[in-house]
Structure 1
Amino acid sequence: MRLGVLDVGSNTVHFLVVDAHPGAAPLPAYSHKIDLRLAELLDPDGAIREDGIRQLVDMVTSSMRVAEDKGVEEVLPFATSAVREAVNGEAVLKRVQDETGVELRVLSGGDEARLTFLAARRWYGWSSGRLLLLDIGGGSLEIACGLDEEPDTAVSLPLGAGRLTAGWLPGDPPEPDRVRELRKHVRAEIARTVAEVSRLGPPDHVVGTSKTFKQLARITGAARESEGPLVPRRLTRGALEDWVPRLAAMSAEQRVLLPGVSAGRARQLLAGALVAEAALDLYRVDELDICPWALREGVILRRLDRMSS
């Protein structure tokens, strides 16, 4: 069947059309997205601004037109941390439903971590053993670890690259003192989760998902995205540690010139690198593999599982 996944994330609103059926990998058929960056479109009280809401409504409306044009049988609409944590989140959801007819399902942080873990487990299989997943989004960091398709632990922290950039790094390039303050904050937050994850034993395989990890891997020498999802890509802690001070000294304009870095993500890359570096260091991870599948694929796979049960 043809499914549409409407992902209202903290950075991007993405409508992905896939051909999918139980027992097979979902195949992307069409992509429609905008870099809305809802995590940065907040007023001082933490509410999503009117311009952000208007753009979101317009994007949902256009996505439903795409769904009709592409023959989508079912749409799976969901929203993550930007809407979940906005003080006017409920009003935003009601506005979207009233004006488009689409009811967005708000995923909890734990749901995000579990569904992304499911996608990574299906991609790498049982031979991966104990899997540790790290996912840096625009609004939050998801961490999950376990042996099965359901992780033994699933944690979400408010350490998304967009959120941290907006709240901690106003300069371009940011002032060194602000970078140090953010580094300290990130490490303190992640350190609170180390005992919970470590009690499960050392992971056999560590993977990273999300655009942030893909871009960090690319600037440290990983293959281009155009080479396809089956090409192995890896990020090492050593290479990342070398790049963090270099990114801190660059402006967003300079970061755009790096391989694989998009204009919409350039300002956020330093904050994402600080989160990635802290996670690899505190979890004692020397390297991780970049997983092509993430939350959207997890949502699709869970839906297919329910069809076959």
Structure 2
Amino acid sequence: MKIVTHDGGYRLTMRLGVLDIGSTTAHLRIADLTAGHPPRPVATLKRRLRLAEAIGGDGVIGRAAIDRLTEAVSEAADVAARHRVHELVPYVTAAIRDAANRDAILTEIQAASGVRVGYMDAEQEARLTFLAVRHWFGWSAGPILLADIGGGSMELAYGDGETPDLALCLPLGAGRLTRHRLPDPERVKKRHRRSLREHVESVLAKRVGEIAARHRAGQATAVATSRTFAQLARLCGAPKAKAGPHVVRELRRADLREAIELLGERTPAERAQLPGVSAARARQILAGAIVADATMAALELEAMRICPWALREGILLDRLHHPAGHARHLYAIRDASA
């Protein structure tokens, strides 16, 4: 694609589609990429998947959820084709990546939709998310400490460059913990909340020592991404989404502790009526809040800034600045222009 500039010249623009298949939703974002400019949004599509609640004790994702998944990928591929994307990058995150029937699911998706869906290892996800955060905040942010709570895992990263010096993936996803650590998510007992907290603190104590030490020594800018952090920040008083992405949003630990009590007293249906909490994440938002609070305590953080860019934007930026793209092996087989 070529776009005529004001001086009569041309600049090259490519249209990329990124399809993020998580535990809660399948989210397609289509953007135009032009050197020297941020990604320009073209279209988005979201479809609810509810994969986290469809994973059995044996780690197998059930039939109904697989059907929802194949339908969502097929629809996303059709939308990408209508918008004439040059490349489509479809990938699954931890919920499917770690599923016992992962390979069968990916094979079925390709047979039904014509799209070969890939997956990244957790470290690669953390590095691409860090790239997006660095571009959003710029070099003036200095060292960055990043936290990203997903459905299946939590990623932590630290560094003073464009990519992190350290990147960790911890089994502390909000969906995973809800499934395994909260026996009755409809009415969570205080003892189960305490038990979950103790488990999270135990995992953090074993893994985050080096990142915590780097943060204390370098006074990093603490940043959080993901819908879980964004919804918790809104619940705790951050501006609404309609205020725009450039409004400063923070999640303060003092407010978060109060939010945990509020969430713990309500059913998922009641939580969905609270500011910022979506119905899709209401079931797992309590576990996410406990992880966020325990993580901030372990890293000695009183507040974290919320970044609107995350993994999808990291892939777009990676493709824009590196023609080969670190996620190139994820590109779809399907000819999206057909």
Per the normalisation by structure 2, the TM-score is: 0.88
Range moving further from structure 2, 248-257 or 212-221: 248-257
Do structure 1's residue 180 and structure 2's residue 198 form an aligned pair?
no
Q: CA deviation at 1:173?
A: 2.1
AA partner of residue 152 (structure 1) = D
Structure 2 counterpart of 1:127: 140
Q: Which residue number corresponds to residue 61 of structure 1? A: 74
2:27 is matched with 14
Decide which moves more: 95-104 or 192-201.
192-201
Q: Displacement of 1:201 after TM fit? A: 4.0
Q: 1:218 to 1:152 in 2, by over 3 A?
A: same
For 1:68-87, list aligned pairs within 5 A: 68-87=81-100
Q: How does 1:191-230 map to 2 (within 5 A)?
A: 191-202=205-216, 203-230=219-246
Partner of 2:126: 113
Quote the residue 2:333 is aligned against.
none
Partner of 2:156 in structure 1? 143
Of 257, 265, 272, 1:249 maps to: 265
Q: Give the whole-Å Cα distance in 1 for the aligned partners of 2:196 and 2:215.
A: 29
What residue number does 1:36 align with? 49
Q: Distance in 2 between matches of 1:112 and 1:32?
A: 21
How many angstroms apart in 2 are the aligned matches of 1:223 and 1:39?
Answer: 29
Alignment of 1:213-292 (within 5 A): 213-292=229-308
Q: Report how many aligned residue pairs link the two structures.
A: 309
Q: Quote the RMSD (CA, aligned, Å).
A: 1.4
Report the counterpart of residue 101 of structure 1 in structure 2: 114
Larger radius of gyration: 2
Note the residue ranges of structure 2 that are not aligned, 5 or more in a row.
Answer: 1-13, 326-338
Deviations 1:243-265 (Å, cap 9, x if unpaired)?
Answer: 21221111112211211111111
Distance (Å, rounded) in 1 between the aligned partners of 2:40 and 2:267: 37
1:46 equivalent in structure 2: 59
For residue 10 of structure 2, what is the aligned residue in structure 1? none
**Is the partner of 1:288 in helix, strand or coil?**
strand
Once the two structures are TM-superposed, the CA of residue 308 in structure 1 deviates from its matched residue by: 8.8
Identity %: 45
Structure 1 pair 28–198 and aligned structure 2 pair: CA distance change class (3 A): same
Match of 2:273, as an amino acid?
L
Please say if residues 40 and 163 of structure 1, whose CA atoms lie closer than 8 Å, have aligned partners that are also in contact.
Answer: no
Higher relative contact order (CA 8 A, sep 6+): 2
The DSSP-based 3-state class of the residue aligned with 1:75 is: strand
Change over 3 Å in CA distance of 1:201–1:223 after alignment to 2: closer
The alpha carbon displacement at 1:198 in A equals 2.6
Work out whether residues 145 and 215 of structure 2, in 8 Å CA contact, stay in contact via their aligned partners in 1.
no
Shift of 1:232: 0.6
SS of the residue aligned with 1:190?
helix
Deviations 1:122-147 (A, max 9, x none): 10011111100000111110100011
Instruction: Work out whether residues 119 and 293 of structure 1, in 8 Å CA contact, stay in contact via their aligned partners in 2.
Output: yes
CA contact (8 A) 1:118 1:149 kept: yes
The CA deviation at 1:175 is 1.4
Residues 1:153 and 2:127 are matched in the alignment? no
Which of 274, 298, 312 is residue 296 of structure 1 equivalent to? 312
Moved over 2 A (4+): 198-204
Aligned equivalents of 1:31 and 1:191: distance in 2? 39
What amino acid is the match of 1:200? R
SS at match of 1:200: helix
Q: 1:85 to 1:73 in 2, by over 3 A?
A: same
Q: Secondary structure at the match of 1:119?
A: helix
Give distance in 1, aligned partners of 2:156 and 2:106: 26
Q: Is contact 1:22–1:307 with CA below 8 Å preserved after alignment?
A: no
Give secondary structure in 2 for the equivalent of 1:135: strand
**What is residue 336 of structure 2 aligned with on the other side?**
none
SS at match of 1:307: coil
Q: Is the 8 A contact 1:22 1:308 kept in 2?
A: no
Instruction: State the Cα distance separating 1:204 from its structure 2 match.
Output: 2.2
- Please tell me whether the aligned partners of residues 212 and 298 of structure 2 are also in contact (alpha carbons under 8 angstroms): no
